[in-house]
Amino acid sequence: MSLKTFKPYTKSRRSTVLVDREGLWKGKPYKSLTSKNKSSKGRNNYGRITSRNHGGGHKHKYRQIDFYRKKDDMVAKVVRIEYDPNRSAYVALVKYEDGVMNYIIAPNKIKIGDEIVSGRNKKIEVGNCMPLSDIPAGTNIHNIELAANGGAKLVRSAGSSAQISGLDENYCIIKLNSGEIRKIISSAR
């Protein structure tokens, strides 16, 4: 997705920069992959306000994201890219060969109709999921597990990425956006 700038017809328009949402799905989310998202509105179990200024806001459904990507060696096709009110990144609805649908966090530059795959020794392409040991040093990655089969915990927000610095025995050295360097087991995805 790209950024939109405007001609400065008014003072407020002069510095306005918006995200272009032209390719996003305009309909409702895929119903079987949503659940209700109970908001506490800043109240505790007695109904008393414990954190102020949390009330109001629009109700929205929670999209169940597949952070594990365990369907190995099965090609999935990107059906659509949607806005998700619960996170800064967009989500992509993918359909696997066996007909199962899942939401994943949409990586940058992924398009509708692209094919993605998970597993060992796969091609280095946008959207593919593989163990850290299979990815060469210097590659930008996102959606990183801290432990093998633990689900993605790091680098999940929009526009963020980490870079693989190298391998150290059974560990992969990763430089995060903040500049922090982490050692993560290389069997993690």
pLDDT digits (tens, 9 = 90+) for 118-140: 999 999 999 999 999 999 999 99
- Closest by CA to 5, choosing from 24, 19, 23, is 19
pLDDT, averaged across the chain:
93
Say which residue the tokens 């593989």 belong to. 130
**Is the pLDDT reported for residue 39 higher than 80?**
yes
Q: What is the pLDDT of residue 48?
A: 95
- Yes or no: say if 163 and 139 are a contact pair by the CB < 8 Å rule: yes
Biggest alpha carbon–alpha carbon distance for the chain: 59
pLDDT surpasses 90 at 153: yes
pTM of the shown model: 0.87
User: What value does the mean pLDDT take over residues 92-120?
Assistant: 95
* Residues written for the chain: 189
Is the model's pLDDT at 1 over the cut of 70?
Answer: no
Residue 111: predicted pLDDT: 93
Whether residue 50 is predicted with pLDDT greater than 90 in this model: the reply is yes
pLDDT of residue 61 exceeding 90: yes
Instruction: Give Cα 3 to chain centroid, integer Å.
Output: 19
What confidence category does residue 58 fall into, taking pLDDT thresholds of 50, 70 and 90?
A: confident
The dihedrals phi and psi of 13, each to the nearest 5 degrees, come to -75, -20
Percent pLDDT > 70 in the chain is 99
- At 51, which amino acid appears? S
Write down the pLDDT at residue 19: 87
Can you tell me the distance from the alpha carbon of 15 to that of 36, in angstroms, rounded to the nearest whole number? 37
Contact (Cβ atoms closer than 8 angstroms) between residue 105 and residue 89: yes
